[in-house]
Structure 1
Amino acid sequence: MSILSKKTGTSPGSLVYIGQGGEHPVEMVHFSYDLDNLDLKTFSFQDVPRPDQDRKNLILVFGVHEMEPIRAVGQRFQIHPLILEDIVNTKHRPKLDRSEEHIFLTMKTCLWADQDQGVRLDQVSFILTGSTLVCFLENRDVFPDEFQKRLAEKQGRLRSMDIDYTLYALMDLFVDNFFLALEKLEDQLDLLEEEMVEQPREEHLQKIFQIRRTISAIRQTVWPMREILSSILSRNEDLFGQKTRVFFRDLYDHCQQIMDSLELQRELNTSLHEVYLSLISHRMNTVMKLLTIIATIFIPLTFIAGIYGMNFEYMPELSWPAGYFICLGFMAAIGLGLVGFFKLRRWF
């Protein structure tokens, strides 16, 4: 049964977790900072902090499979139930919504699992309101450790620029994960090509289809993300400050590079499929050619054996003392002659 069927019959705004996570309890962290100070505090959903309006605030929620923490954060920041519903639905398409109180943005990031499972796509959702950014992550391992190190640096842009730059910085790190996954996919395609040329096997075809599905899933994720960034950069949108829009333009370029790389890898994957079919066909033709040569050699020998296997009373060769050896020699001469002829024509 599809996990999406969990929402069947529920009212709009009902919080039903749609996803594959939920192995670890929900964790929540609050970063409160300005140019000079940085405070870090973990909290529970019973004690959601009230942001300091004089400082920038980053609230990280690791895990969206428990509804009480999501409701508590939603009540604190007056997040609409329909947006909370999108946050806990990790199969949701990336999108950008704007209201009078806040900006809601949801996107995907990916991690390379292993060669068998390929990439894992995780949802990341943002709520930007005032000087506070709330980030909901499906799993903790998608959050990069280097971000906290950058936040601790007083000389970095994270401490000096507005909170919308923090949103960009996180989005940039999550988008960069796609480049790492594409490098792994490219290595897999190169290795697959080498193995196929040496000896094509059925598991190679299964691997080709798996990589094709992975490329398609990443493309369906990055394509709407590129449209979101295009909307942010359009002249009709003033969601972010001019200083930050420059960085979002660079992020748009990254998404475009990912799309270009996906197109190249999809073409390479299609070419590998064609190469696999060609190699299998070539190997089959080689086998059929060898069997045809063997059958051609034995056809005249079978004909001779069939003649002397008939039960006629008057066959003068049967009474010859050397008839058996003469017949064998004649058959051997025919067989060797055919082999020499095929060799001369370079048929094998």
Structure 2
Amino acid sequence: MIEAAVFAPSGTERHSADTRSALADAKAAPGTTWVRVTGDDPTELSLVTDVFDVHALSVEDVRSGVRPKTEDYPNHVFVLAKTASLRRGETTFEDEVRTEPVGLFVGPDWLVTMTTDEVDAVSRVWEGTLGEDARILRAGPDFAAYRVLDRLVDDYFLLLDDVETTIETIEEGVLDGPDPEVLEALNAVRRDLLSFRKVLWPTREAVGTLARGDVDEVRTATEKYYRDVYDHLVELVDLTETYRDLARGARDIYQNTVAQSTNEVMKTLTVVATVLLPLTFVVGVYGMNFSSMPELEWAYGYHAVMLGMALVSLVLVAYFRRHGWL
């Protein structure tokens, strides 16, 4: 689906963009033109490619969802960003980071956004330009592109809020004792943070190119807005690394808890084996049944041996308790 919005003195107007001539008229209209392409229909993509003279490889990058980047062309700059949201599963360890590519082609007086599916951040800015926030297009295509990127980055914070809540829940579970589900949830969180990190780092570099004034399509007056987005991305990178450290620390606590539990079991088994060792020795000695053993003929020999073994056991147990081993 192709939609066009043009900022005119009377306000933002919708223009038909279902044919080549209509799309060309929208591009040539005075003011700032924003063409929004949703879906991957080859005919529509080819139409936009021809009218706005955008490179076919850039369109293919949007469809394939490669890593975020910024590329400068003679008549426009291409920015590929990505959405990032946490798709919930039935359990915590089934959560995963879901991404959608968002392509922005910024020209001298036009902006083309391409998405393979409906993207909430793009839709909200789009509806704003057609409503009360018409200044978005009045400020130029570079400012409209900034607003889209800013929305995407704001949604990144929501994802990290969810991850933080999950980590806090996991930390509480770790302290309750070893649980295989807690370990699976920890691994899932670390995997999500790694996936999110792969989105953040190239996005930061892509926005940094726009913030430094390396492209002609971004005016000096708009660079400060991109610098603000860049600062948010730096903060997000720091938060991601912090949460990765928290997840790593929770895993270490879990492993220490498991090791401590194992040590407790081993200590108990060692105490039991130590108590049984002298008893086994006594039973083994008298189990030889040599005829020359004087105790074999003693009427109270059995009772004496059992009493002796009980006393030895009691002495050993008292000793272990005194030293805090039981």
Superposition TM-score, scaled by structure 2 size: 0.88
* CA deviations over 1:2-25 (Å, ceiling 9, x no partner): xxxxxxxxxxxxxxxxxxxxxxxx
Q: Which moved more, 1:337-346 or 1:273-282?
A: 273-282
Q: Which runs of 5+ in 1 are unaligned?
A: 1-26
Distance change in 2, residues 1:105/1:148 (3 Å): closer
Cα distance in 1 between the residues matched to 2:6 and 2:217: 23
Partner of 2:255: 277
Partner of 1:5: none
Cα distance in 2 between the residues matched to 1:266 and 1:35: 50
Aligned-pair RMSD on alpha carbons? Answer: 2.4
* CA deviations over 1:33-65 (Å, ceiling 9, x no partner): 44643444786588873315224332222233x
CA shift at 1:119, angstroms? 1.5
Partner of 1:298: 276
Partner of 1:71: 46
Cα distance in 1 between the residues matched to 2:321 and 2:255: 29
Cα distance in 1 between the residues matched to 2:9 and 2:310: 96
Partner of 1:185: 163
Q: Establish whether residue 176 from structure 1 lines up as the match of residue 154 from structure 2.
A: yes
- The count of aligned residue pairs is 320
Distance change in 2, residues 1:329/1:150 (3 Å): same
Partner of 2:55: 80
Distance change in 2, residues 1:156/1:47 (3 Å): closer
Q: Establish whether residue 147 from structure 1 lines up as the match of residue 122 from structure 2.
A: no
Q: Establish whether residue 54 from structure 1 lines up as the match of residue 30 from structure 2.
A: yes
Q: Which amino acid aligns with 2:169?
A: L
Q: Establish whether residue 111 from structure 1 lines up as the match of residue 74 from structure 2.
A: no
Larger RCO (CA under 8 A, 6+ residues apart):
2
3-state SS, counterpart of residue 133 of structure 1: strand
Tell me the percent identity: 27
CA shift at 1:160, angstroms? 3.4
Cα distance in 2 between the residues matched to 1:281 and 1:46: 69
Q: Which amino acid aligns with 2:38?
A: F
Distance change in 2, residues 1:231/1:186 (3 Å): same
Distance change in 2, residues 1:144/1:194 (3 Å): farther
Cα distance in 1 between the residues matched to 2:67 and 2:133: 36
Cα distance in 2 between the residues matched to 1:321 and 1:212: 71
Partner of 1:7: none
3-state SS, counterpart of residue 292 of structure 2: coil
8 Å CA contact retained: 2:83, 2:102: yes
Q: Which amino acid aligns with 1:322?
A: Y
Cα distance in 1 between the residues matched to 2:109 and 2:284: 98
Superposition TM-score, scaled by structure 1 size: 0.83
8 Å CA contact retained: 1:102, 1:129: yes
Partner of 2:73: 99
8 Å CA contact retained: 2:6, 2:12: yes
Cα distance in 2 between the residues matched to 1:329 and 1:240: 95
Cα distance in 2 between the residues matched to 1:148 and 1:125: 14
Partner of 2:296: 318
Partner of 1:166: 144
Partner of 2:173: 195
Q: Which amino acid aligns with 1:189?
A: I
* CA deviations over 1:127-166 (Å, ceiling 9, x no partner): 1224321111233154465434432443563153212211
Distance change in 2, residues 1:82/1:149 (3 Å): closer
Distance change in 2, residues 1:103/1:48 (3 Å): farther
Distance change in 2, residues 1:297/1:46 (3 Å): farther
Cα distance in 2 between the residues matched to 1:162 and 1:48: 21
Q: Which amino acid aligns with 1:97?
A: E
Q: Establish whether residue 29 from structure 1 lines up as the match of residue 29 from structure 2.
A: no
3-state SS, counterpart of residue 104 of structure 1: strand
